[in-house]
Structure 1
């Protein structure tokens, strides 16, 4: 067993309670080391070193699991599966497809956890975008490399290695009707068809766990970042000198204090590393998350 930090410049530290990208390959024999072949390799985002059970993160996760089990035991936990109709995955390397759908809307509900339903190995990621109004159609697939303004509110996301996403016991994501609730969505799936296969049929999607037992807090998404980063042509390496800051003049407008429950990043094909920091009175008080070794694939 290797140490989590080897002090080897060619090795990466395994960080507790943090998702990390790994590339793996394994031989086709249990007795001989040999070439892995095209089917025995891949990449994933995994938590190699989970938080200890007695840590703050571990305790909060245990409470969240207990809360969901209590809902299930009292028949207050409902599920709905949102999946693509059987679709032939485009044979191009990269493609984005969407479908509109409606979640239960007779009242306000809280989503307490969700997970991916994966039927092929070319799903790069999935995102549910909230819509501001009722879409013109439901169930029809359309190309969506760029989301329309009507359905562009980032909500729930899934990536390989994420497993089941569990929300804290004191908060849920609001769907349906009522304050902060979203009724209509577009499910976007990004396919990464590296071998340009033309005969793949996919019906992936998400399984949503929701309840009528509302929690004290609603979960929201705060998006940070500068969309106008201008990378000079023919640059092999570039670091932005423009800080992507949500300043005090912005955070003072929050109606109440916010509790950060998770942190995600989005860099597409050009990013190598990224960090989100929390600054108070000019001093960093917390690193909310970082990705030191990022690969879009």
Structure 2
């Protein structure tokens, strides 16, 4: 049964000029039985008021949780207290539902013992009220399950810090990623790019990278073509084997309509067979999360930017077709 959010005071959160409360959003003592299990649990946001999430405090360990994602949904994928939401990593006989049935967007991601995230002053994710986010869904990927024998359970999750004070700077996350394959014993560039078509000014403030074991460098850019030559501005670059937290963007830039956002994951496949993009630990992933805020406006309607990846998509041959590519910078730290 879904519950209405109950808001409790959290006095140790960094001081603000306004009241900050918190909500503990944890897995309901689950006990996954299969390796690479993805489990989701929902919570109904109080629809009578608007709330602004301004901080995320993870309560999890990489020894238990491979990664966690927090989704904002208009409608959740199921109404149970928790459900299987990892269709790539379950047997055909298992029932599985997506995190969201409608209005899916990622608002927070965590992996590799990353620390808490506090948004810039005056910035928040709007939920409840007239927001399209009427439910929050926590997804946890459990890589190993041997620790759950003999009735051991898990309550990994996130403490959400929020205010009821209206904020003019609304946060959003654009997820860039790819499909594709990694050829055996080779370096592979997995690339994606999308044109911003909405008439909004995005102010990037943080980025996060995510791959599995073969990722070496993940980089993200704003690409602009005002003078006949594409100008690349680095948003962020990281070794995805580091703690997969949100790091501050490296440049203070604005993304406008007509700009291109682009990301590359440099992978080294050390195996003698093909590795594909997928949800299990034996697969790979190429993700670049870009957190931004907009003022006196709504975040992007488009929440995801994905391409088919190699061997079908590359920056220099895809749509949009990119040139003047900073090849060395994009692939090396």
Q: TM-score, normalised by structure 1?
A: 0.63
Say which SS state the counterpart of residue 198 (structure 1) adopts. helix
Runs of 4+ in 1 over 6 A off after TM superposition: none
SS of alignment partner, residue 172 of structure 2: coil
Match of 2:16 in 1: 70
What is the CA-CA distance between 1:160 and the residue it aligns to?
3.7
Is 2:241 the partner of 1:294? Answer: yes
The DSSP-based 3-state class of the residue aligned with 2:47 is: coil
On the 8 A contact 2:32/2:145 being kept in 1, the answer is no
The C-alpha deviation readout for 1:76-101, integer Å capped at 9, x for no partner, is 212111111222243x4422111121
Residue 206 (structure 1) shift? 1.1
Secondary structure at the counterpart of residue 294 of structure 1: coil
1:265 aligned to which of 209, 218, 221: 209
Which stretch of structure 1 is more off in the superposition, 209-218 or 198-207?
Answer: 198-207
Structure 1 residue 269 displacement after superposition = 4.8
How far off is 1:110 after superposition? 0.6
C-alpha RMSD over aligned residues: 2.9
- 1:125-166 Cα distance to aligned partner (Å, 9 max, x none): 211122232555242x22111462616421222224322210
In the alignment, the residues of structure 1 paired with residue 62 and residue 110 of structure 2 have an alpha-carbon distance, to the nearest angstrom, of 15
Distance 1:138 1:209 in 2: 25
Q: Would the alpha carbon gap of residues 230 and 138 (structure 1) be closer, same or farther in structure 2, given more than 3 Å must change?
A: same
Q: Report how far residue 185 of structure 1 moved.
A: 2.4
**Secondary structure at the residue paired with 1:222?**
strand
CA contact (8 A) 1:120 1:204 kept: no
Q: Measured at CA, do residues 85 and 215 of structure 1 come closer, stay the same or move farther in structure 2, by a change above 3 Å? A: same
Please give the alpha-carbon distance, in whole angstroms, between the structure 1 residues aligned to 2:111 and 2:135: 22
Distance 2:177 2:62 in 1: 32
Aligned to 2:116: 164
Matched, 1:143 2:58: no
Aligned residue number for residue 95 of structure 1: 37
Give the structure with higher Rg (CA).
Answer: 1
Which is strand-richer, 1 or 2?
A: 2
Aligned counterpart in structure 1 of residue 188 of structure 2, from 224, 231, 239: 239
SS class of match (1:157): strand
Q: TM-score, normalised by structure 2?
A: 0.57
On the 8 A contact 1:135/1:184 being kept in 2, the answer is no
Partner of 2:134: 183
1:211 aligns with 2:155: no
Structure 2 unaligned segments of length 5 or more: list them.
1-12, 88-96, 243-280, 283-333
Structure-2 separation of matches of 1:120 and 1:202: 13
Equivalent residue for 2:289? none
Structure 1 distance, partners of 2:109, 2:191, is 25
Gaps of 5+ in 1: 1-66
Number of residue pairs matched by the alignment: 216
The aligned residue for residue 15 of structure 1 is none
